[in-house]
Structure 1
Amino acid sequence: MTGILLVQGDITHQSVDAIVNAANSSLLGGGGVDGAIHRRGGPEILAECRALRAARYGRGLPTGQAVATTAGRLDARWVIHTVGPVFSEDEDRSELLASCYRESLGVADALGARTLAFPAISTGVYRWPMADAARIALETVRSAETAVEEIRFVLFDTPAYEVFARQIG
């Protein structure tokens, strides 16, 4: 049985096997969670991301997929990078957002991770409405078959935490 926890705080301070990064497709760092993970984790993460770009993801990591690197100086073994979709009022991209969670769990299982910390994927600059993002995230992880024993949703601020808390019941 997988336990789901909500934590308010900074995902880069979590002590877990793997931290999920809401990455951009370039895998080369950016703003928000992505930038914070790269800054705190150090240059080892960027070096592995560059190697992935050179070897397998020359055009970048596709939306909804996930790939792992070292966690560098973070208190984790791995960072699992996933690219969330940009929210659109004209096109339902919910399946791509759900795929980020499923694919990240699949990578975590392949690595042998037992504890995993997720941010609220696509809710920052990609503008996904928090309540809908929380619903998709929680439904997806609850229905996933995974060996991960503990899933933490690490929400940066009180409003995000409260939205997830209402959704979790």
Structure 2
Amino acid sequence: MKYLSRPWLPVVFAALSLLAHAQAQAEDFRIGFVNTDRIFREANTAKAAQAKLEQEFSRREKDIAELGNTLKAASERFEREALTLSESQRAQRQKQLVDTERDFQRKRREFQEDLNSRKNEELQQVLERANRVVKQVAEQEKYDVILQEAVYINPKHDITDKVIKALNASK
């Protein structure tokens, strides 16, 4: 059996030294995870944004629901009375129903687009504020990396509760 020759001995020691150094560095490496969905559900700023949106859009939503109910009632009434109406009356009522349906669909679509746009604006503000708080927590507690999305995360790395508490405490 042949033993390692002396020229290889320093290389082996250097590799072992690097491995030990890398392991020590890995122990100092701190990683955290933040669940943004929980922040959007649980943080006071997110709840306030949701309440603001509900207040801002509740009247329009109610108006659209009323228009939908009116359209449904008119359609049912037309179905019941269609056989007793003259051809011209039937055509006129049918045209009114089609126009009302088109108006209803347009208003509902515009409402949804406006709501989505405002919701995105509000959530963007919440996210920007949350990101500032995440950065503060990371700096204070000396984290090297904070992830916001992951397929799996060990719960011991989840700092979402800390972020929500800090976010709720800040103004």
Normalising to structure 2: TM-score of the pair?
A: 0.24
**Relative CO higher for 1 or 2, CA cutoff 8 Å, sep ≥ 6?**
2
Q: Which structure has the highest strand share of the two?
A: 1
Larger radius of gyration: 2
After TM superposition, the score normalised by the length of structure 1 is 0.24
